[in-house]
Structure 1
Amino acid sequence: MRPWTNKSLGLGLLGVLLIVSGTTLYLSWPAIFHHILEKEIPLTPTAKAFEIWNDTSSLPPMYFKIYFFNWTNPQQLRTPGKKPNLEQVGPYVFREIRQKANVVFHPENHTVSYFNRRWWYFKPELSNGSLTDRITQLNAVAISAKHKVRYWDGALQTTLSLMLSASDVHTTKMVDQLLFKGYEDALIELGRMAAELGEDVPPFDKFGWFYMRNGSTMFDGHLNMDTGALNIGDFGTLRKWNDKDTTRFFKSPCNVVEGSAGDFWPPYRQKDEILLFSGELCRPLTFEYSQTVDYMGIEGYRYDLSEKTLGNSTKRRYPHDQAKYFEPTTTTEDFFEAEHSAEVTNAPEEDPDVVNIGNCFCNGKCTPAGLMNVSACRYGAPVFVSLPHFNRADPSLRDHVIGLNPDEEHDFFITLEPTTGIPLKVSAKLQINMLLEPSKTVSLFRSVPNVYFPVMWFALEVDAPDEFVDGLKKLLSLPNVIAYAGVVMILAGSLMVLTIAVLYLLNKQRANSVTTDKNVRQEILAPADKSELIYMDKSNGGDDMHVRNDRKLYPNSTESINADLQSKLQNQK
């Protein structure tokens, strides 16, 4: 076999190999990318995301903003026709740093356990006010005490009424006292005495909305999260909270611990909904897909806290075979036949697997849409959480007060990159409200209006840093790189095969042409036995050159021609 043939055969085989490899690469890029995600996404002690997850102090600063509602006309509370006038003050800005404590990985079930620790540092240069500003708002301690004893014996309620005779429905404190420093109250000491009798009361000596939280690990609970090492579809999912997969604050199935732990979500997000479990609210929150947005050149899915969490008529299917969601003492059939609150809205003829989850979150009394009842999670205090300014809530809530102006800036949303499930932007905004309602026994609250009273709201906005976004862009470009590489390999292989085929045809045609020419040359140069017709002069060669002689064609061979030539030469001599 000739060298050229060896080379062409080798190049042809290489081209075919490129075509097969390129086609395989192009068709299998989803599997290749999924394999890359399985290697990069799971949380391990050596993962790239571990250091950021474990301590956010190295990240760009994230700021926690707090707004108070200053009550400007508390003396007119019982005046007919007068509504509480609220003036928003702030923001009071704090830099927030999050750290994980007591981190323990559990390879046997692919989870990690930890506590959350948060630090807040006041930033006066970014704030609109100081920590010494005085704010007037509801007397949260007195309202909580009245709400706590509402089902107690009448004598005990009368005792509380006497203790509150010198108090007011409102209180004025400095911002620092209302937040982290706290303030003393005689009722708090009484509550500590009740705790010794087995009552569920706050174990604190002062009251402040964030009292003793700075640097503490006790408020978010103990979390056990799936690392995604076995199945990235479970990455970031909270498995247990305080060592249990259910809570004691709500009835089944609303007591289920489910959803993301708050840091990660599984990849391959859809335009449906995501779940977030909040240790602060002791319950999962449902965020619904709202729109597709562009974040620094990356496509993101935005999920909003909306109707499925804030409404009281949201229904959800819980098939009977999901018995793991229920307490051991309750069968699924018993649950679906039981009432979940004082206001059950499910019709008897409806599908028994479909549950109005708003009912079991009501804790006995459902609220207007837009409020979340977390009183059971807050030692029985009548605390209700909403979006700021009662955004996305029943308009009747705003009708009872003056000074609220909700808009889309008050939304609570999470933007995820859908392929990896990585958060691009989190805008967490919630409002704390207390229920002010009249009491027939406690004289301090006699004849007061029934109002869900806004106290404060806070905002925490976290954006993915630029360096992280650049790395994410490179990761997301891999499918295109893999697909383009496959196409290039297919084109290169096809070009090589086509080139070899063309060269082969040209070479074959050239070989045929050379063979033909060679045969012709051989026919011309080889001795011939055949006679050929030539003009020969048979005359005697007269002197008159102008007289035309008759010439005929005579057959002769080469030997004859040579003989004739020799004869003529002799005659000339």
Structure 2
Amino acid sequence: MRPWTNKSLGLGILGLFLVALGISLCVLRPIFFHHILQKGLALSSTSNSFKIWSDTSDLPPLIFKVYIFNWTNPEQLGIEKPHLDQLGPYCFREVRQKDNITFHHENKTVSYLQRRLWYFDAKQSNGSLNDIVNHLDVVAASAAHKIRYWDYDWQKTLSVILSTRKLYTRKTVDELLFTGYSDGILTMGKMMVTDPDIPAFDRFGWFYMRNGSAEFDGHFNMETGEGDIGQLGILRKWNYKDTTKYHKNPCNVIEGSAGEFWPPGRTKDDITLFSADLCRPLFYEYEGTTSHFGIEGYRYTIGKKTLGNATRRRFPHDQAKFFEQTTTTEDFFVAEHSAEMTGSTTENTYNGHSSENTDVYSDNDPDVINMGNCYCNGECTPSGLLNITLCRYGAPVFISLPHFHKADPAVLNAVEGLRPNDKEHSFSITLEPTTGIPLEVSAALQANVHLHSSEIVGLYNNVPNIYMPMIWFKLKAQVTEEMASNLRILLALPIVMLCSGIIMTIVGLCLIGAVALLSLFGKKRRIPQTDATTEKMVDNPEKKTEMVFMDKMGNNEDDNVKSDRRLYAKP
């Protein structure tokens, strides 16, 4: 085999290989990219995300902003609306750490405790921790609310204890937040508490005993995405159970993301996050597409599906096997609630204000329940408020968006000094849809205390029925520019693979075509010359030819006899 033939064969094989590889990259790139995501996003002790997830100390600091409402006219309650001035923000650097991390490879989950630490940042704060605040007496209000259905003697005893107190208290910001302040009612309650699930607090503060505690948020069990990246970040158990004790079936199920990881392949459907602070899942609705460092993301916000008091949801019967058996799904559907659904429209009234919510579910569908009744714990609220009383040891705490944003207007009109706006007071999560990586999280919630009258407890005989804003906080986190750059490279991989595949295919086809042309040209050069070809060359005067002399006489003469015949040139 000649050398040029060996080269042609090699080029042909190379061309076929490039074509096969190029087509494979074009056709199989989704599979390749999914494999890359599976390896890169799944949480393990050796993954790139593990260090960031387990300890945020080396990341740009998270800024936890706290705003406190100062009640300026507490002595005029019942005569004037409560007037509130917003103080702050009081800024804290937040660090999150995971403790007791245990990977369970048998079911592809990880268990952990979460510790949060806060460090006051005086430079970014608008005010001092020594600022004095007029605050509703939360301890007294909670005590009156807790025993409102107890025997008359108990309520009368509390009335005597509170007879020398006022509806409000004056404390420093530090006391209201982390340090806490002592109270006689707490001291008595500490001696009377027998329930092991209720901590015997000796002081009150909105974040008392939380700074640096690894047990306060509870025990988490989360999917790592090791077996199926589509399950990444999904919370499976909280405090060792897949249901909570704070709500009835089927609303007590643990569901949604743990809050730090989201499965890739996001759509514009709702997303769900389980909040340990609220002891329930929160539902986020798609709001629109936004851009962060040039990366497109889907923005989801808390809306009426979480804040509404007439939002319906279907729970199929075949899901009942996942719930606790203390009650059945069917039992809950026929249970009595404080607000009834009639027809496809549910009307709720608060202080003379009514609101309607109409949905498309049929009234005869036994699997559809009213989500407002689902979480109201027998005390349903106006829209925009979440009842977490049972989650907070019986204290009448109700959560809303800051400044009653998206709440029933009657709730907002009951007080003065609040100015809700969507930019500052929304709770939003922005996810990159392909990878599910959070681009920006803006968590904002407000704690309110339900203040209502009591016929027996004298301090609350004639108080109005209002939800008093106490405090709101905001935590904003976002990817850095360096993280965004790495994410852009990851997102460019499918396009790079497609372009590479097309280029490889074209180069391979070119090599195959070149080998075919070389082969054809080589065959033409090896064709033997005939008489006709020779004659043609002679006739052409421009080409150099060789003259051939031929004997035109017969060939029958003796070869040994000398002949004098002349030779004639062949025409």
The yes-or-no answer on 1:527 pairing with 2:541 is: no
The yes-or-no answer on 1:18 pairing with 2:33 is: no
Q: Distance in 2 between matches of 1:309 and 1:435?
A: 19
Q: 1:394 aligns with which of 408, 411, 417?
A: 408
- State the identity %: 55
Q: Distance in 2 between matches of 1:404 and 1:397?
A: 11
Change (3 A) 1:232 1:199: closer
Contact 2:233 2:257 in 1 (8 A): yes
Instruction: Provide the residue aligned with 1:209 in structure 2.
Output: 206
Give 1:146-165 correspondences, 5 Å limit.
146-165=144-163
Q: Distance in 2 between matches of 1:493 and 1:8?
A: 13
Superposed CA offset, 1:362-404 (max 9, x none): 1112211111110110111110001111111111111111111
Give 1:419-438 correspondences, 5 Å limit.
419-438=434-453
Instruction: Provide the residue aligned with 2:338 in structure 1.
Output: 342
Q: Distance in 1 between matches of 2:82 and 2:529?
A: 108
Q: 2:369 aligns with which of 348, 355, 366?
A: 355
Q: Distance in 2 between matches of 1:160 and 1:331?
A: 38
**TM-fit CA distance, 1:170:** 1.1
Q: 2:299 aligns with which of 299, 302, 314?
A: 302
Superposed CA offset, 1:92-143 (max 9, x none): 0010011111111112211111111111111111100000000112110010
TM-score normalised by L of structure 1: 0.89
Give 1:163-562 correspondences, 5 Å limit.
163-196=161-194, 198=195, 201-339=198-336, 341-345=337-341, 349-409=363-423, 410-509=425-524, 517=533, 520=536, 525-529=547-551, 559=565
Instruction: Provide the residue aligned with 1:137 in structure 2.
Output: 135
Q: Distance in 1 between matches of 2:338 and 2:322?
A: 22
**TM-fit CA distance, 1:237:** 0.8
Q: Distance in 2 between matches of 1:54 and 1:447?
A: 51
Change (3 A) 1:206 1:6: same
Contact 1:252 1:325 in 2 (8 A): no
Q: Distance in 2 between matches of 1:202 and 1:86?
A: 31
> Alignment RMSD, CA only?
2.2
Instruction: Provide the residue aligned with 1:114 in structure 2.
Output: 112
Change (3 A) 1:561 1:27: closer
What amino acid is the match of 2:505?
I
Name which of structure 1's ranges 43-52 and 146-155 shifts more when overlaid on structure 2: 43-52
What amino acid is the match of 2:305?
K
What amino acid is the match of 2:279?
C
Contact 2:549 2:567 in 1 (8 A): no
**TM-fit CA distance, 1:16:** 2.0
**TM-fit CA distance, 1:154:** 0.7
Contact 1:384 1:433 in 2 (8 A): yes
**TM-fit CA distance, 1:301:** 1.1
Contact 1:346 1:355 in 2 (8 A): no
Q: Distance in 2 between matches of 1:202 and 1:438?
A: 27
Name which of structure 1's ranges 501-510 and 55-64 shifts more when overlaid on structure 2: 501-510
Name which of structure 1's ranges 164-173 and 513-522 shifts more when overlaid on structure 2: 513-522
Q: Distance in 2 between matches of 1:476 and 1:199?
A: 50
Q: Distance in 1 between matches of 2:370 and 2:534?
A: 96
Change (3 A) 1:509 1:212: same
What amino acid is the match of 2:155?
Q
**TM-fit CA distance, 1:2:** 3.2
Contact 2:250 2:329 in 1 (8 A): no
Contact 2:70 2:84 in 1 (8 A): yes
Rg: which structure is higher?
1
**TM-fit CA distance, 1:4:** 2.2
**TM-fit CA distance, 1:199:** 9.1
What amino acid is the match of 1:94?
F
**TM-fit CA distance, 1:529:** 4.9
Contact 1:191 1:201 in 2 (8 A): no
Superposed CA offset, 1:153-173 (max 9, x none): 011101101100011111111
Contact 1:224 1:238 in 2 (8 A): yes
What amino acid is the match of 2:216?
F
Q: Distance in 2 between matches of 1:68 and 1:511?
A: 96
Superposed CA offset, 1:499-545 (max 9, x none): 223334444455559777557459964433559xxxxxxxxxxxxxx
Q: Distance in 2 between matches of 1:514 and 1:47?
A: 72
What amino acid is the match of 2:374?
C
Contact 1:194 1:201 in 2 (8 A): no
Name which of structure 1's ranges 28-37 and 500-509 shifts more when overlaid on structure 2: 500-509
Q: Distance in 2 between matches of 1:514 and 1:354?
A: 93
Instruction: Provide the residue aligned with 2:352 in structure 1.
Output: none
Name which of structure 1's ranges 423-432 and 107-116 shifts more when overlaid on structure 2: 107-116
Contact 1:343 1:365 in 2 (8 A): no
What amino acid is the match of 1:528?
M
Change (3 A) 1:320 1:127: same
What amino acid is the match of 1:361?
Y
What amino acid is the match of 1:72?
T
Q: Distance in 2 between matches of 1:406 and 1:517?
A: 99
What amino acid is the match of 1:274?
I
The yes-or-no answer on 1:2 pairing with 2:16 is: no
Contact 2:248 2:332 in 1 (8 A): no
Q: Distance in 1 between matches of 2:524 and 2:455?
A: 112
**TM-fit CA distance, 1:70:** 0.7
Q: Distance in 2 between matches of 1:270 and 1:185?
A: 50
Secondary structure of the structure 2 residue equivalent to 1:58: coil
Name which of structure 1's ranges 321-330 and 58-67 shifts more when overlaid on structure 2: 321-330
Contact 1:253 1:357 in 2 (8 A): no
Q: Distance in 1 between matches of 2:501 and 2:83?
A: 67
Change (3 A) 1:518 1:111: farther
Instruction: Provide the residue aligned with 1:566 in structure 2.
Output: none
Superposed CA offset, 1:279-318 (max 9, x none): 1100011111111111112121111111111111221111
Q: Distance in 2 between matches of 1:381 and 1:512?
A: 103
**TM-fit CA distance, 1:68:** 0.8
Instruction: Provide the residue aligned with 1:552 in structure 2.
Output: none
TM-score normalised by L of structure 2: 0.89
Change (3 A) 1:509 1:390: same
**TM-fit CA distance, 1:246:** 0.3
Superposed CA offset, 1:47-94 (max 9, x none): 111111111011011110000111111111121xx2111111100001
Secondary structure of the structure 1 residue equivalent to 2:63: strand
Q: Distance in 2 between matches of 1:287 and 1:120?
A: 27
What amino acid is the match of 1:285?
L
Q: Distance in 2 between matches of 1:380 and 1:349?
A: 33
Secondary structure of the structure 2 residue equivalent to 1:150: coil
